[in-house]
Each structure stands twice: as C-alpha cells, then as structure tokens.
C-alpha cells in the first residue's frame, strides 16, 4: 500500500471542506421506515419498529422500496431520520437519498452480515429506546463525486458511498486505464479494472480485491487495481483533497459501475473525474467509538452466506 502526502494536492477542492460538518445527536420526531421490498423478512421488522415508535408519539411513515429495481424516489420532506431495513446493499442505496439532505441513516439487518447495518432483531426495542433519548453517536462518512465526461462534455454525475469501478465488460480481456492526479500522471494499469474507493468502500469490493481496510472515519480515497498484469499491484491511498482522472483505452467492452449499480458502457475518449463529495453520509451508531475494530474480526471470520442460510 502506498500513501501519498497531502502536499500532492491543490487547495481548490470545490467546497469539499463543507463535508466535514457534523451533526449532534437529537431525538427524532419524524421517521421514515424503508424496508426492502424484495426481502419478505423486512415486513415483520418494519411492523415491529412502527408499532414501538408510534406508541412513543413519533410520527412514522413506511415506504416499501424496491432496491433491486429502483423507480420511485421516496419523499423525504420533513423527515429527520431514515431507518432502512435490509442489508448493506439496501443501506447504500438509501444513503444516496438522505446524504444530500443531511438526513441521518440507521440500518436494521434482515440480510447477510455486513459492516454497515447497525441493529438486528434481538436488540430493537433496547436500541430504539436509546435512539429516542438521543443516546447515540452520529458517524460522518466521506463520499465521492464521480463525473463522466465524453470529450470534455459532462454526460453523467454520481454520488458515491462505496466505490466507483472501471472494469471489463462482456469480453474477458484485461483493460488499460491511465490514472492522473492533480499534478499529472500517476500510473497506467493493465488489469481487470480499477477501483476508486472511500474508507467505507474499503470493506466492500476493494477488500475482496486484496485492498487494505481503512477505518470508517478516515477521509481518504483508495485506488486499487483488480487482478493487475505487469502493473503496479499496490493500493494507493490519497488524501481527501485529491482529484483523480481515469482514462480507459477502449479496445473491448469497458464499463463503469457505482456502488454495485447497473454498469454504464464507456466509449473511447471518455474520462471519469473523481473527487471528495461536498455531502457526507451521517450514520446512527450506538456502540463505542472502537466498535469497528471489535467487530472486524467477527465479521471477517463468519461466512455471510452460511449465516443467511441459518435464518432461512
């Protein structure tokens, strides 16, 4: 792993310092529950949470969201907390709704084990009681902004919580991606792809590709090649102020995917620009600040597929 010092980066970061602003814990009064429509186990959990919160006088709305086939976006006007019931993937999708509005996010697990979802069904009422007493922490996580340019014309923009991945498409051939930083050329990779990840994403695809695990509070960007061939095979960690440009050479199908969502086909002359997002994701946490390290070994040693099958 290579860490590049902050002196590499310019001071002009398009307002990224605004993303360091944090919220203080508060008693939520208007909560939206967002169970994953594709998982029938979320319905009973949503009913249980709704019943408890309603009895305490909290205003509750329920929006059954199809995370696998997104369509209608929930109306979060007046909502001060979003509770997602599902797995880490559901939490990522919901985070894209609430982060731009500054709405905190709480996850209740119904799926496989993961690093993001906070609660399980055995501790719901105990932790919901603490929630309504504002007895929790708000953990602020850095996000990225990825812009796709075609011959310097902006084609698409994405908010990124986990990672942006440029990789091969249908053709089973390595691709070439040139990576430039603010000051110029960094490296050219011949690989299955290149991952640009946040600290949150370091426990996702980047971890599976052999990357380092970064503590969630770090505001760093991670560049990691996927199965590199005769290329730099080390992860590179950049400071928050970094701005990265990725230039794929198109000889075969090359795609970009954001946070595991449907891939977008790239064309010759396309460029992906990535930098720190002015928005941050605020997550409700009940554990001690060192929870990440205490849970790390437990999550890494348990097979999430087998864990899911136990509950089926």
- Residue 180 is a catalytic residue: no
Torsion-angle region of 190 (φ positive above 0: left; ψ -120 to 50: alpha; else: beta): beta
Cα–Cα distance measured from residue 244 to residue 180, given in angstroms and rounded to the nearest whole number? 6
Q: Indicate which residue of 12, 66, 88, 152 is catalytic.
A: 88
Token pair 């909290």 is found at 58
- Helix, strand, coil percentages (3-state) for the chain, rounded to 5, are 25, 35, 40
Token pair 């990672």 is found at 163
Query: How far from each other are the two terminal CA atoms of the chain, in whole angstroms?
Result: 40
* Alpha-carbon radius of gyration of the chain: 20
Token pair 């708000």 is found at 138
Instruction: Decide: 231 and 251 in contact? Cβ < 8 Å.
Output: no
Residue in 306, 187, 307, 173 with CA at minimum distance from that of residue 247: 187
Instruction: Decide: 247 and 178 in contact? Cβ < 8 Å.
Output: yes
Tell me which residues are annotated as active site.
Answer: 88
């Amino acid at each position: 792993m290579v860490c590049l010092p902050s002196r590499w980066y310019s001071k002009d970061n398009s307002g990224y310092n605004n993303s360091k602003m944090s919220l203080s814990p508060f008693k939520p009064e208007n909560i939206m529950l967002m169970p994953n429509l594709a998982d029938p186990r979320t319905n009973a959990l949503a009913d249980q949470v709704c019943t408890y919160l309603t009895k305490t006088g909290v205003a509750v709305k329920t929006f059954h969201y199809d995370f696998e086939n997104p369509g209608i976006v929930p109306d979060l006007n007046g909502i001060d907390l979003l509770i997602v019931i599902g797995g880490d993937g559901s939490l990522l999708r919901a985070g894209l709704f609430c982060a731009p509005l500054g709405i905190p996010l709480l996850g209740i697990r119904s799926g496989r084990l993961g690093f993001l979802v906070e609660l399980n069904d055995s501790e719901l009422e105990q932790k919901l009681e603490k929630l309504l007493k504002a007895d929790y922490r708000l953990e602020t996580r850095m996000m990225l902004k990825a812009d796709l340019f075609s011959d310097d014309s902006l084609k698409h923009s994405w908010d990124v919580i986990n990672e942006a991945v440029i990789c091969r498409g249908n053709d089973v051939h390595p691709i070439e991606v040139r990576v430039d930083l603010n000051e110029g050329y960094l490296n050219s990779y011949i690989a299955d792809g290149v991952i640009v990840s946040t600290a949150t994403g370091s426990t996702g695809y980047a971890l599976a590709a052999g990357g380092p695990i970064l503590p969630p509070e770090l505001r760093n960007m991670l560049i990691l090649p996927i199965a590199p061939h005769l290329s730099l095979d080390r992860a590179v960690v950049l400071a928050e102020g970094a701005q990265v440009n990725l230039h794929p050479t198109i000889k075969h199908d090359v795609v970009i995917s954001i946070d595991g969502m449907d891939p977008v086909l790239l064309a010759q002359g396309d460029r992906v620009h990535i930098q720190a997002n002015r928005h941050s994701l605020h997550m409700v946490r009940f554990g001690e600040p060192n929870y990440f390290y205490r849970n790390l070994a437990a999550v890494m040693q348990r097979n999430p597929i087998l864990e899911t099958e136990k509950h089926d």
